[in-house]
Amino acid sequence: MIPAQFDYVRPGDVAEAVRVLAESEEPKVMAGGQSLTPLLRFRLAYPDVVVDLGGLTELRGVADEGEWLRIGAMTTHDEVIHDPLVAAHCPLLAQATHTVADPAVRHRGTLGGSLAHADPAGDLPAVALALDAEFLVSGEDGDRAVPASEFFQDYLTTVLDIGDVLTAVRFPKLTGWSFHYKKFSQTAQAWAIVGVAAAVRRDDGSVAEARVGLTNMGSTPIRARQVEEACRGVPARTDALREAAQSADAGTDPPNDLSAQADYRRHLARVLTGRALAAAAGL
C-alpha cells in the first residue's frame, strides 16, 4: 500500500532532530527505515512528521572508549557485522546481527533503529540486555545514559519520549567471556520464534558466570536470571548446562501466534538456552 501523507524532515544535527520532534504532534524517527517503512505502508503508523536521521553521519561508526565500545545508532547492521572492533570486543552482537533479516535489509537497517523499534521478535534487544549495554539518548533536557535493563518497557515501547533521539549504544568489553546467539526461526522469515543470547565466563573446567537474554519470550527481551544463578560454578559440560537451562522459561510470558504456541516457546527457550550456553562455553 501507499503510506498516508506525512511531512519529511532531514535534520542536519541531533539538536535540530530533537527540536523538530519536540515540536511535532505525532512524529516518528526514521533510522534505516526497514521496520518503519513497512509500518507506514500497512498504515499501522500515522506520523505527522518523519524525522530522517540519514544525514547525521556523526551517529555512524564504532569507537573504542577503553572499557566500552560505543556504536553510533545509525551504524548499519552490515557495518556492525564487518567492523573489526565489534569482532574483537563484542562478537555476540556481530553474530546476532548476522541473523537479522537478509543482506539487503542489513545494508539499510541500523543498530539504533532495531533497538528503538523494540520488536519482541527482533534479535538485538536480547543481546543488549544480556551484555548490560547502555543507551545514550539526547532529548529536550539534555543527554542521558539509560541501562538496557530500563530501556525496554513493553511491546514496541521503550523509555524514549517524543523529543528523544537514541544517538549511540555502549557495550562493555567483556574479556575472558565467550558467546553464542541461538535462534529458531522459519526459513522464509528471519524473525525469531525464540532466540537466546548467551555469554559464559569459564574458570577452567567450570562455569564461573553466565548471562542469558531471551528474544520473543514476552513483550520485552528478558534476562533468564534463574538460569544465570543455576550456571554459577557448574562443570563446563553439556549435560550440566542443559540442566541449568531448565528454568529458562521461568517468569516469562511468551506470545501465542501463528509461528508458535506459548508452551512450545517455553520448550524452545529451555532447549535453545542449553544449546546456546554449551556453544558459548566452547562445548
Partner 1 sequence: MPHIRVTVDGVSYDDQVEARRLLVHYLREQLGKVGTPVGCDTTNCGACTVLMDGQSVKSCSVLACQADGHDITTVEALAADGDLHPIQRAFHETHALQCGYCTPGMMMAALDLLRDNPDPSDEEIREGLEGNMCRCTGYVNIVRAVREAAAVMRATTAAPESESRTTDVPQQVVREQEPAPQAASGGASS
Q: What amino acid occupies position 205?
A: G
Place of cell 512450545: 264
Beta strand 157-158 with 152-154 is antiparallel
Shortest Cβ 45–partner 1 spacing (Å) = 12
Closer CB to partner 1, 4 or 88, in the complex: 4
Shortest Cβ 164–partner 1 spacing (Å) = 22
Shortest Cβ 236–partner 1 spacing (Å) = 31
In the complex, which residues of this chain contact partner 1 (CB under 8 A)?
1-8, 10, 30, 33-34, 37-38, 40-42, 50, 52, 54, 78, 101-105, 107-108, 188-190
Cα distance from N-terminal residue to C-terminal residue, the chain: 48
What's the rounded Cα separation, in Å, for the pair 200 and 282? 9
Closer CB to partner 1, 175 or 188, in the complex: 188
What's the rounded Cα separation, in Å, for the pair 243 and 186? 27
Shortest Cβ 215–partner 1 spacing (Å) = 19
Closer CB to partner 1, 82 or 144, in the complex: 82
Query: Residues 194, 214: contact at Cβ < 8 Å?
Result: yes
Burial of 23 (0-12, 13-18, 19+ CB in 10 A): exposed
Shortest Cβ 88–partner 1 spacing (Å) = 21
Shortest Cβ 109–partner 1 spacing (Å) = 9
Burial of 97 (0-12, 13-18, 19+ CB in 10 A): buried
Closer CB to partner 1, 2 or 175, in the complex: 2
Query: Residues 76, 110: contact at Cβ < 8 Å?
Result: yes
Closer CB to partner 1, 108 or 201, in the complex: 108
Q: How far are the Cα atoms of 31, 155, 167, 169, 262 from residue 164, in angstroms, in the given order?
A: 13, 18, 9, 14, 34
Closer CB to partner 1, 105 or 250, in the complex: 105
